Amino acid sequence: MSYIEVRHNFKKYQTGDTEVLANNDVSFSVEKGELAIILGASGAGKSTILNILGGMDTNTSGDVIIDGQNIAKYNKRQLTTYRRNDIGFVFQFYNLIQNLTAKENVELASEIVKDALDPVQTLIDVGLQKRINNFPAELSGGEQQRVAIARAIAKNPKILLCDEPTGALDYETGKSVLQIIANMSREKGATVIIVTHNSTIAPIADRVIHFHDGQVTQIEQNPNPEAIANVKW
Ligand SMILES: Nc1ncnc2c1ncn2[C@@H]1O[C@H](COP(=O)(O)OP(=O)(O)O)[C@@H](O)[C@H]1O
Ligand SMILES: [Mg+2]
């Protein structure tokens, strides 16, 4: 069995009279320690599956098996524990707490888990040694995203989920942010899933899961992933 197995996942949203099948029979797997990319156009259902994998949303039907446990069957309390202990999540628009400094934002996450990394060291690792006591409003977009990544990785999560992590960043900044995220898989052995609409970054992944209209249309495995320095977009 794979480390992550999504089987026949459905997610239906009902808004008034309209029904949207955001995930329409989605199945795929990801191995432990892999760097996987979920690729697809806007509206394809990528954030939907990422939020379900992160225990932030529940599905309509189907199995979501993480390390042998079917989290689709978890109750709220179990999902909270799962989210807290196992998951690091990076959002497109950072979601930092504005009245806390970079260090305090990271501490907020690290304080709630047992095997947390040191918040200051984590900020140093993402290149923010000079920004540790700054507030989000004093930081550039790329710096804010690096705080958000530090917040996610300071929890030392088993699984790092990133929703369009470079979507709001310029090219060079995006590249360095991507490198930090990829290193979590390549150097720390975390299982990393990146959601993106940008097909040019797909070659860096071990596995690319193509989404279209709520469905998986193709799964590619890449035995020789490209170095981030060699991809251009
Ligand atoms: N909370 C929601 N309520 C209603 N529809 C939603 C909700 N979230 C997502 N959707 C719809 O589900 C589909 C997939 O959305 P999403 O997973 O966010 O796509 P992606 O991340 O690939 O852009 C879209 O049609 C979107 O409008
Ligand atoms: Mg999305």
pLDDT at 88: 96
Phi, psi values for residue 185, rounded to 5°? -80, -50
Distance, CA 183 to ligand 2 centroid (Å)?
Answer: 23
Strand-pair category, 207-212 with 215-221: antiparallel
State the ligand closest to the CA atom of 40.
1
Ligand 1 atom 27: the closest Cα is on which residue?
43
What pairing do the DSSP bridges indicate for beta strands 4-15 and 18-30? antiparallel
* Ligand 1 centroid to residue 20 C-alpha, Å: 8
Ligand 1 atom with minimal separation from the 163 CA: 21
Burial state string for 28-56 with b = 16 or more CB within 10 A and e = fewer than 16: bbbeebbbbbbbbeeebbbbbbbbbbbbe
Q: Which of 144, 183, 188 is nearest to 165 (CA)?
A: 144
Instruction: Output the pLDDT for position 2.
Output: 97
Alpha-carbon distance of 150 to 157, in angstroms, equals: 11
Task: Give which of 132, 189, 136 is closest to 160, Cα–Cα.
Answer: 189
Residues 6+ apart with CB under 8 A from 16: none
Residue 108 corresponds to which tokens in the numbers above?
């907020």
Q: Which two tokens stand for residue 49?
A: 């599956």
Query: pTM value?
Result: 0.96
Residue of minimum CA distance from atom 25 in ligand 1: 43
182/35 Cα distance (integer angstroms): 7
Q: 43: CA distance to ligand 2 center in Å? A: 7
Q: Which two tokens stand for residue 137?
A: 């409003």
Distance between CA atoms of residues 86 and 114, nearest Å: 11
Residues with a CB atom less than 6 Å from ligand 1: 13, 15, 20, 22, 40, 42-48
Q: Which atom of ligand 1 is nearest to the CA of 40?
A: 22
The token pair that represents 135 in the structure block: 């507030």
Burial class (CB in 10 A: 0-12, 13-18, 19+), 19: exposed
Tell me the best of 14, 26, 48, 215 to mutate to test the pocket of ligand 1, counting ligand atoms within 8 Å of each CB and taking the most: 48
Q: What is the pLDDT of residue 233?
A: 78
Residues of the chain with pLDDT under 70: none
CA of 227 to the centre of ligand 1 (A): 31
Residue nearest to atom 11 of ligand 1 (CA): 22
pLDDT, position 168: 86
**Both structure tokens of 15:** 């808004």
